[in-house]
Amino acid sequence: MQQALYRKYRPEKLSQLVGQEEAVSLITQQIKKDNLGHAYLFSGPRGVGKTSLARIIATQLGCDPTFDITEIDAASNNKVDDIRDMNESVNFIASSPGQKRVYILDEVHKLFLLIALLYQ
C-alpha cells in the first residue's frame, strides 16, 4: 500500500527531529525528571514538527497508540458537543492499560477561535 511521504518520513524519536533544539532539550529534561507538564501548546509555521513532537512525547511516555493516544482534528471537531464527547472519554482512563493518556488537539487554533467567539 502506498504511504504518504509525510507519514513515511515523520520523525519517530526526539533525536530524529531537525532543529527545534529548545523544545527538544526542554522535553528531554522533563521526561528524564518525570516532570512533564499537563499540557503543551506548540505554535509555529506549517510543517516545522508540531504534530510530530506531540506524537513523539506520547510515545516516549509509553502510551499505547490504540488505547492511550487520542488525536483530534480540532479544525473539524470544534463544536461544543465534540468537546463534551472528549471530556466524557477522559472518564474511561481507568480502563486504559497505560499509566498516562495523551490527547493531541491538532490545529487547535481553530478551537481557540470558537472559544474566543463564545466569550465575546
Ligand X SMILES: Nc1ncnc2c1ncn2[C@@H]1O[C@H](COP(=O)(O)OP(=O)(O)OP(=O)(O)O)[C@@H](O)[C@H]1O
The residue ranges that bind ligand X (CB under 6 A) are: 6, 9-11, 17-20, 46-52
Count Cβ atoms below 10 Å from residue 117 Cβ, excluding itself. Answer: 8
51 binds Mg ion (CB under 5 A): yes
Report residue 67 as a C-alpha cell. Answer: 488505547
Torsion, Cα 93 95 97 101, to 10 degrees, reads -10
Indicate the residue among 31 and 96 with the shorter CB distance to ligand X. Answer: 31
83 Rama class: left (phi>0) / alpha (psi -120 to 50) / beta: alpha
Residue number with CB closer to ligand X (11 or 98): 11
Residue 78 interacts, among Mg ion, ligand X, none and using kind-specific CB cut-offs from 5 to 8 Å, with none
- Between 10 and 110, name the residue whose CB sits nearer to ligand X: 10
Binding site for Mg ion (CB under 5 A): 50-51
